[in-house]
A and B are shown apart, each in its own frame.
Chain A
Amino acid sequence: MTNTPKRGDRRNARRLSLAASTLTLALFVASCGGSEAGDSAGTLTVGFDNEPVTLDPAFSSAISSDRNVLNMFYDTLVRQDADGEFVPALAEDWEQDGDTLRFFLREGVTFHDGTDFDAEAAVANLTRVMDPENGNTKAAALAKVEEVTAEGEHILELTLSEPDPILLVNLAHEAGMMASPSSLEADSLDREPVGTGPFTLSSWRSNVNLVAEANPDYWRTDDEGEALPRLGQVTFDFVTDPSTLRANLSAGQVDMVRVLPPEEYLQLEENPQVTFEDTGVRRSYYISINQEEGVFENPQAREALSLAVDREGIGEAAASGEYDISPSFATEFDWFFDESIQVPEHDPERAAELIEEAGLEGEEVSILVRRRDPDPTIAELVQSELNQTGLSASVEVLEFESLLDQMNEGDYDAAVMVIDVPRLDPSLTFDPYLVTGAPNNWGGISSDELDDLLAEGTRIEGESERAEIYSEVQRSIGDNNDLVFLHQPTAPLIHDVDLQGLVFNVDGQWRLDEAWFES
């Protein structure tokens, strides 16, 4: 970590970026005159609130919704279906032999730029991810791979340093996405994805939309041997405002919306043209707490925060009653969900006592939150509840990038955040938020106990053994109030009733290669 920069510098930088984003917003509002969807010609328009920062899979963020877009352009060696089973993709078959994992690659597959997909190309992709020098975000996924070699034109061999229970999981997602070797050299994937996927990028205008055309040379066919993809064109309209998304959906301007808060989607229930699909995705709201400095450095203050929040009240107010309560990121569908772990009871009196005991009455606390409904509502409720404990809380509503900047600087006390769950594996759910120094561990959680447990979780095999470890992890977070978990709104995928053939991944994210419109 760098030495603490001057507070003024940070503030100025933030203000400038806010000024810039306000101007951008003004320009954006001026420029988004009309976007329309012509369903008849096999054109799908998706209302999408989380625009990806980059389309280079090796450098993409941990945001699982990025995968919806990346899956358009890239394929992986294997796919993991909705039940968690591995199915062939660019690799037709694979075998594990001690420390060696061998993939037999599909022949006759070409990248969007016309070059052939072969073992050399796969080696180039995996070597790039394994390279610690280039700063990619997926290196940890292949940490246990020692060597990648081409053992023939279509045979790929991975030599492992030790068994890795989640290597195939990782290879089935961003870390294993295959891009054309020439674009790897040009380092141009962030704006120009060149993979083997079902669609090719046609245009991408930041804050507006992304248009993709069907890849006529796509290697996959459906069960009847018909060519895929079936859609001719897919457009992602980048809109963050939920009520705009809802309005666009009911007006038929978009055919599908990634996610909407309950108070918006409940308004669509009567609409016969719209259908809901609960893919098991929950949005897990939590409070990230800065335990390195400020009020919440004190464990008693963290406990007070956990006791002060009325999780059910927040769920009623911010999710119109469509929510679950869970003691951690885990949902009740997860195999590592442990129902013996208690959710803290709402106890404002005890919270106030704790604040008094700690001598923190009247101390100021800032709560950061993203400017996207209903998040500010949640922050305001937390603020009101904290004020009742004797603290003096304020809410700062920020654009997402400024919010992350400020959290990365450690310049906050608490932040209302949300992630999509389930993730592919509990290690991906917990590690980025809890391991000492991990990218999303903004609050500075640093516990040897947690680090050891989480390392153990990626080492041992067997679901029940791992489940035990992860329930230890969840107990530890709860006991130390490292994070405060709020409610988990249900997040059904909402789309036009005529849209068929959506394929879901194990993490509830979707693929469009088999999608089509029933006319």
Chain B
Amino acid sequence: MTLIQLTTSSSRKIAARLLRMLLRDWRVVFALTVFVAIGCAALVSPFITDTMTATDTGRLLRGPGPGHLLGTDNLGRDIGARLVGGAVVTVQVVAIAVGAALVVGTVLGLLAGYLGGWVDAVVMRTVDGLIAFPLLVLALTIVAALGPGVNNALIAIAVVITPQFARLVRGEVLSLRTRDWVAAARIVGVPTPVLLYRHVLPHLAGTLLVFTALQASTAVVAEGALSFLGLGVQAPDPSWGAMVASGTNYLSSNWALSVFPGLALFLTIAAFNLLADALRDVFDTHRTN
């Protein structure tokens, strides 16, 4: 009893220390600022759908200025409103596509690594097969086969990222399964699912957190690329990638069309990468301690 209390209180202490370390890191603060901004934008966007899709040929390609703070695009739509609308897709990509890949990939990796045998063979050969393709080419092919659209883009992104999680988790599990506490749990008859959840998964948390942040940035890039090529979000719904694409034709008449959505993509991707960096530093320190 006392032993358990001791471990809980000490793990709380460790968690609190980690959090303090993270919040002192400018990279984490930057990432959180970006995430809060995107989150707010996504929450606001359902209330301004009309503004972001309303065309007006009387105000084409206006530069930034009063009335339309970030200017208007080639159909006279407000760029600022469309930028806010584009945040929704980014949130969907991270929450749905990366979320699904994290869950499915982790479960597959745990099973393959812990059970071994034919489960391992089937899962890992499939994973190898998928990883053999360059990520974007695979995503493009999947979307092209399913048909363009935001749902299919999310599916494609989830499918190309899942193997990355599976491979990472399997590798970690292979080294964990031979540890004493796992063997002990197995000997006292803890059922496999419980064993994996209570005694293996927690040791992967740090690594998975860092990796998820990295994969989120990859996913945002992939969505941007798919939409840039017209295979992701379909007009007139806004997406940053599609906005950059349509703006390339008007770079000489209104730079704002491409630059602002490009900046939004850049900040988002930078936020995820910096966060991953910061997390890795923290977890490494923890380990060396």
> For residues 243 through 260 of chain B, which have their beta carbon under 8 Å from a beta carbon of chain A?
246, 248-250, 252-253
Taking the closest CB of chain A, its distance from the CB of B160, in whole angstroms, is 15
Q: Across the interface, do B248 and A243 meet the contact criterion of CB distance under 8 Å?
A: yes
Complex: chain A residue closest to B53, CB-CB: A384
- B249 in complex: contacting residue of A23, A263, A380, CB < 8 Å: A263
Given that A243-B249, A395-B236 are known contacts, is A26 also in contact with B140, CB under 8 Å in the complex? yes
Q: How large is the interface on A (under 10, 10 to 19, 20 to 34, 35 or more residues)?
A: 35 or more
Taking the closest CB of chain A, its distance from the CB of B53, in whole angstroms, is 6
Complex: chain A residue closest to B142, CB-CB: A19
- Tell yes or no: B187 within 8 A of A by CB: no
Q: Using an 8 Å CB-CB cutoff, how does the interface string of B196-224 with A read, 1 for contact, 0 for none?
A: 00000000000000000000000000000
> For residues 1 through 20 of chain A, which have their beta carbon under 8 Å from a beta carbon of chain B?
11, 14-16, 18-19
- B147 in complex: contacting residue of A18, A26, A316, CB < 8 Å: A18
> For residues 106 through 149 of chain B, which have their beta carbon under 8 Å from a beta carbon of chain A?
137, 140-141, 144-148
Q: Using an 8 Å CB-CB cutoff, how does the interface string of A312-323 with B read, 1 for contact, 0 for none?
A: 111011000000
Which secondary structure dominates chain A's binding surface?
helix
> For residues 253 through 272 of chain A, which have their beta carbon under 8 Å from a beta carbon of chain B?
263-264, 267
- Tell yes or no: B37 within 8 A of A by CB: no
- Tell yes or no: A381 within 8 A of B by CB: yes
> For residues 224 through 269 of chain B, which have their beta carbon under 8 Å from a beta carbon of chain A?
230-231, 234-236, 246, 248-250, 252-253
Q: Across the interface, do A19 and B75 meet the contact criterion of CB distance under 8 Å?
A: no
How many A-B residue pairs lie within 8 Å, measured between CB atoms? 79
CA gap between A16 and B234 in the complex, in Å: 19
Complex: chain B residue closest to A16, CB-CB: B145
Q: Across the interface, do B249 and A15 meet the contact criterion of CB distance under 8 Å?
A: no
A371 cross-chain contacts in B, Cβ below 8 A: 230
Q: Across the interface, do A395 and B249 meet the contact criterion of CB distance under 8 Å?
A: no
CA gap between A16 and B74 in the complex, in Å: 32
CA gap between A16 and B145 in the complex, in Å: 6
Q: How large is the interface on B (under 10, 10 to 19, 20 to 34, 35 or more residues)?
A: 20 to 34
CA gap between A342 and B156 in the complex, in Å: 50
CA gap between A263 and B58 in the complex, in Å: 17
- B144 in complex: contacting residue of A22, A264, A376, CB < 8 Å: A22
CA gap between A317 and B59 in the complex, in Å: 10
Which of A312, A379, A396 has the most CB atoms of chain B within a 10 A radius of its CB? A396
Beyond A15-B146, A376-B235, 17 extra complex contacts between A and B, CB < 8 Å: A11-B147, A14-B147, A15-B145, A18-B148, A19-B144, A22-B231, A23-B144, A243-B249, A263-B249, A263-B250, A264-B249, A267-B252, A377-B246, A381-B55, A384-B75, A397-B230, A397-B235
8 nearest interchain CB pairs? A313-B57, A19-B144, A22-B144, A384-B55, A19-B145, A18-B144, A317-B57, A395-B235
Supply 20 A–B pairs (Cβ within 8 Å), ascending by A.
A15-B144, A15-B147, A19-B144, A22-B141, A242-B249, A264-B249, A312-B57, A314-B57, A316-B57, A317-B55, A317-B75, A376-B235, A377-B246, A379-B235, A380-B236, A381-B75, A384-B54, A385-B55, A396-B148, A397-B234
